[in-house]
Amino acid sequence: MNALIIGAGKIGTSVAKYMSEKGHKISIIEKNETVCEGFEKMKDVTLYCGDGCDPSILEKAGIKIADVVVAVTGDDEDNLVVAQLSKLQPNMPRVVSIINNPKNEWLFNKKWGVDEAESSTSIISKLIEKDIK
């Protein structure tokens, strides 16, 4: 599988490492040059330094062949832009996103180009609720 990850923070890097160990080909886009410089090299993972909301960077990183796009930046607006740009591609990759601000959960749906999304707040809340019951 070809996966394109937007955001090389803790989540993006962890997802890349996990998926590459499973034999998938991974591309990561990160716009923070300091993060790019300190990025740990991984097998089958290619890093692109640039803005994941820029269609030319997305194309360079392989959005046209991606099976899945993982939007895990710290900015919900950027994650939604990435989702919408992904759905404009002829290959229509599946889009998975993180939601940083729980107030934005209502936006992260198929209408906005997101196939699956979750916020850490909702995950933790569900786990607590489950434990209480």
- pLDDT tens across 25-69, in order? 999 999 999 999 999 888 889 999 999 999 999 999 999 999 999
Residue 43 pLDDT: 87
pLDDT band at 131 (very low <50, low <70, confident <90, very high): confident
Q: Which of 6-10, 92-96, 125-129 has the least mean pLDDT?
A: 125-129
Which domain does 14 fall in, by range?
A: 2-132
Residue 93: CB partners within 8 Å, gap ≥ 6?
4, 63, 66, 67, 68, 69, 86
Residue 90 pLDDT: 95
Beta carbons of 99 and 70 less than 8 angstroms apart: no
| The pLDDT of residue 125 is above 90 | no
Residue 56 pLDDT: 98
- pLDDT tens across 61-105, in order? 999 999 999 999 999 999 999 999 999 999 999 999 999 999 999
Domain count, the chain: 1
What CATH number did the domain enclosing 100 receive?
3.40.50.720
Q: Provide the Cα torsion 41, 66, 108, 76; round to 10°.
A: 40
This prediction's pTM: 0.93
| The pLDDT of residue 9 is above 90 | yes
